[in-house]
Amino acid sequence: MDKINKDAVAILKYVGGPQNVNSLVHCVTRLRFELKDSHKIDEKKLNDLSCVLSIVHTGGQDQIVIGPNVAEYYDIIQQKLAANKQTDSTKSPEANSSNKVKFSLTKIISGAFMPLLSIMSGAGMVKAILTVLTSLHWLSATSTPYLVLAAAGNSVFYFLPIFVGITLAKEFKADPFVGGALGAALLEPSFTHLIGKHGLNFLGMPLDPIDYSTTVFPIFVIIGAYVILERLLKRIIPQQLQFFLNSTICLIILVPATVLIFGPFGNTVGNWISTIIMWLFGKSRLVAGLVLGASYSFLTVLGLHWGLVPITLQNLKIYGGDVIGGVGVCAFWAQIGVALGAFLYSLIKSKNPKLESLAGSVTVTGIFAGVTEPILYGLIMPSKRLIIITAIAGGLGGAVSASLHVVVKSFLIDNIFSILMMMYEPIGFMILGSGTALLTGALLTYFWGFEKSTKK
């Protein structure tokens, strides 16, 4: 413990001291500093500390990778910052004005998903194991053991709005339990029972219930509205009533607003996107494949890819094959390529065991289970370079596949087994397009994906 205390004090010193720290949070493995002046960091001395695995500058933050015991360092540093708080409070208004933190979308996304990476990877591994067992016919998909284990593997993904509501509220320094409750309301049986019914209304306003399971776009919108509403309520409601009244008002206003406005808006945007994409396919397959392949991963992040599902189902019914799935699989393998490139980079170049462990596990769950959320939220979205690489790799692969008329033959989850079961045609051209995406993602990530500041 003495060594941890000594190293924690040293870390605070080498980032410029307490007076240089605007805020500090931590995720699974990193101390995430927001500093007044990043130039005051002494990276050489930080890297000399045995507890520091690497230093990353991204999303407006200076992140120091510690490992799974990061919380111990965080607690000690927070104590030092609290002791310095009294001195900070005596600063002039001019000095305090520099403490304003710049908004960063990548920082918000990273803060929302980084705490979930461990459980998402674990659940993905469960799904991967079940996929292997059923593909080998060692376990029936209707058996009791399968259904129980499927519940374990699907839980975090199905209830993603709840988990993201909690972590996102924390990121905005709002009540995480209200954030979780807002997400849970979208999955509560009283509401989900309404899905598929028509002619519904809420206080005279038309209501078209949508399935929000596994989605993240609506919860990002609702938490953004919650943060604004909560801050307003804290100003106008007496302190002694805020304990119960703030959360009551937020639930009464925001849950109906989500099911009436926010959710349907996202669904409408998804339908617009699907219309534009099919128009592009009619004009130029190469351009359509390039655009869809480059954007598909990020449509998935926002949950807007569901707007493409009706077209996919219609294509399968009428033509027996779907061109959208033929391009979407390239975006999937582009993400796998990024994860594989990160794994090889950590193994060969950076010698970073934490990056190696994360990248290796998410690569396996992606290949075997088709679960790429940990790759998207843990590796790609926090990094501008990896976002660019994912778009390039997916776009190139998508252009190849679309030009060669690759289609999927059924509604499926992309993984290695969907290839082995010949669910695409022509299968050779599908492998060519997906292989292009995979290799492009892996090579660009390995050679360009990480800034020099992350190397050790």
How many C-beta atoms lie closer than 10 Å to residue 337's C-beta?
31
With contact defined as beta carbons under 8 Å apart, do 303 and 273 qualify? no
* H or E segment and range at residue 394: helix 384-403
Which token pair is 90? 């005596």
Q: Give the number of other CB atoms < 10 A from CB of residue 326.
A: 29
Cβ(255)–Cβ(188) below 8 Å: no
Percent helix / strand / coil, the chain, rounded to 5: 70, 5, 20
Rounded Cα–Cα distance for residues 257 and 248 (Å):
14
Measured from the Cβ of residue 417, the count of other Cβ atoms closer than 10 Å reads 20
Cα–Cα distance measured from residue 256 to residue 113, given in angstroms and rounded to the nearest whole number: 25
Please give the positions annotated as active site: 27
Q: Distance (Å, rounded) from C-alpha 145 to C-alpha 238?
A: 53
| CA 2/CA 32 separation, integer angstroms | 22
Coil vs helix vs strand at 61:
strand
Task: For residue 34, give the 3-state DSSP assignment.
Answer: strand
